[in-house]
Amino acid sequence: MLNIKMLKPYYVKEDKRFIRVVLAYQYFSLFIDNELYQFVPVESREIIIDRTRKRVHNVFDIFVFQRGKKMVYVSVADLLHTPEFITHLKTIIEPYYEEEDSLEDDVYSDEVQGVIKELEKANLRRLIDHSIDTNDPDAFQTLSDEWNRMYS
């Protein structure tokens, strides 16, 4: 049984592609079979999150935990199966996504709005053409009025 007692980053380093959560001895501990083990930075010492995919990049890395002379090796993949670990990790990296996402949302929202307007305009044209093809004067009049209201 694997439970997280504490998971705090020693520091968080970020670049354009990755968020790196660097871990240290005093900041990461877990219970394995009801015994407390401390993280030891022997092999891997960071969790790397890919910003674009929003996924952990180094799932095959191994973390070492120690209790006295006993050492336990736990992969990042195993830790990701623990809901507590995911919750702690999300709490740590959330502030680094908010800044980036808000900037991207502003840029994309203008683009998306433009595309939506063009699609709505093209759809209205098709509906007007369809009303002509089906010889429906009421629909033609309603759609033409809508066209004039929106685009004139």
Residue 91 CA to residue 61 CA, distance in Å, equals 21
List the single range of 34-48, 60-74, 114-128, 131-145 with lowest mean pLDDT: 114-128
**pLDDT, tens digit, for every residue of 9-19?**
999 998 888 99
Q: Sort strands 2-7 and 70-75 into parallel, antiparallel or unpaired.
A: unpaired
State both tokens at 27: 């900041």
Q: Taking Cα atoms as reference points, which of 74, 103, 82, 95 lies closest to residue 14?
A: 95
Q: pLDDT exceeding 90 applies to what percent of the chain?
A: 39
> Which residues are bridge partners to 14 per DSSP?
19
Domains of the chain by residue range:
2-105, 113-151
**pLDDT, tens digit, for every residue of 50-108?**
888 888 999 899 999 999 999 999 999 889 888 888 889 888 888 887 554 444 444 45
Between CA 35 and CA 36, with CA 87 as vertex, the angle to 5 degrees is 10
What's the burial of 147, exposed, middle or buried (CB within 10 Å: 0-12/13-18/19+)?
middle
